[in-house]
A = this chain, B = another copy of it.
Amino acid sequence: MNNSQYPSLLLENAVNELSRLPGIGPKTAMRLALFLLKEKKEDVNKFAESIRLLREEIRYCKECYNISDADVCSICSNPRRDHSLVCVVESVRDVMAIENTQQYGGVYHVLGGVISPMDGIGPDDLNIDPLIDKVRTGGVKEVVFALSATMEGDTTNFYIYRKISDCSVKITTIARGVAIGDELAYADEVTLGRSLVNRLPFENTL
């Protein structure tokens, strides 16, 4: 067995490549490789091609940095969206999550991450400057922060806030509170405390 534990170099390569995926160890990678070996050739080709094309051809909207098949994404090019309302999110996943709520009619700005000195990610590694430019050149009435409720998210919010607080733009952040469906007794105290401080008129929730 050519010095390695694998009976075939092709298999070894595929397993090594698959185990580079996050959350996939060598054993799972082996299972995936053996699964792919049992699939039809054309299906595996389609699989490999979809991944190659994804990385090769993907584009980012030049307005909001969302993933897009065109120069400007379908949200930014939609005249029915409110272009004066900009929601700041970390990644395309968050755009999809918010779109799924069908509660938001503005546009987005995808940062591509949050400021995280521990991971060596500073403001220059993110799409923060284009956001500030966008706000400074006018036309934006409200910026909504919708980053993760983590220290990194809060840091990023605060960094952007300082850069645009002198502009005549409303700066808001999504509400934090007890999740719908959650039992009060199981909510963590920080969240529960915040939801008490930020309580709102009952009629608003009807």
* Interfacial residues, chain A to chain B (CB-CB below 8 A): 1-2, 5-11, 13-14, 16-18, 20-23, 28, 30-37, 39, 41, 44-58, 66-69, 73-75, 91-93, 95-96, 99-100
Contact = CB atoms under 8 A, between A and B. Distances in A.
Contacts of A52: 44-45, 48-49
A163 to B, nearest CB: 25
Given A7-B73, A28-B23, A48-B48, A54 B67 contact: no
Copies of this protein in the complex: 2
A21 B17 contact: no
Contacts of A58: 8, 10-11, 37
Interface of A is mostly: helix
Q: Which of A7, A18, A95 has the most CB of B within 10 A?
A: A7
A187 B128 CA distance: 59
Contact of A34 (B44, B47, B92): B92
B17 A67 contact: no
A41 B54 CA distance: 10
Contacts of A37: 54-55, 58, 67
Contacts of A8: 58, 67-69
Given A21-B36, A34-B91, 17 more contacts: A7-B66, A7-B74, A10-B54, A10-B57, A10-B58, A11-B58, A11-B92, A14-B53, A18-B51, A22-B32, A23-B31, A39-B55, A41-B55, A44-B55, A45-B56, A49-B52, A51-B51
